[in-house]
Amino acid sequence: MAKRILVVEDNDLNRKLFGDLLVAKGFDVETLADGHAVIERARDFAPDLVIMDIQLPNISGLELIEALKGDETLAQIPVLAVTAYAGKGDEERIREAGAEGYLAKPVSITPFLLAVGKLLPA
């Protein structure tokens, strides 16, 4: 059975790129542009990994990571944070929120797929 990945990304091109890459690698992928639907969608879809943009409209990806990690049924799902904010202290804040992985945009294909592979349970 294919591993399930939930991609949360408000940028249409990035969302399509991440989704297409992951589908091509055999993953079952759902994508969301709106952060408000993340918790409910994660409960329904039961992903093996969540790829989370940090800068989303209306709600921060950091808040969403904290909400996922604070939810008893979702807390064990690893989160790969992907962000254009790669300033000093950003990775630390993102990891403190609960993300197990971190990539700065622009994201190259090989590091992206390696990061995904590292976080997915065998």
- Model pLDDT for residues 76-121, shown as the tens digit of each residue: 999 999 998 767 788 899 999 999 999 999 999 999 999 999 999 7
Q: What 8-state DSSP symbol labels residue 108? A: P
The C-alpha atoms of residue 96 and residue 56 are separated, in whole angstroms, by 18
Overall average pLDDT of the 54-58 stretch: 90
What domains lie within the chain, and their CATH numbers?
A: 4-119 (3.40.50.2300)
Instruction: State the pTM of this model.
Output: 0.95
44/116 Cα distance (integer angstroms): 21
Q: How far is CA 25 from the centre of its chain?
A: 17
- Residues 10-35: what's their mean pLDDT? 96
Q: What is the mean pLDDT of residues 1-19?
A: 96
Instruction: Report the pLDDT averaged over residues 2-10.
Output: 97
Q: What angle do CA 35, 40, 44 make, to 5 degrees?
A: 130
d(CA 79, CA 98): 8
Strands 79-83 and 4-8: unpaired
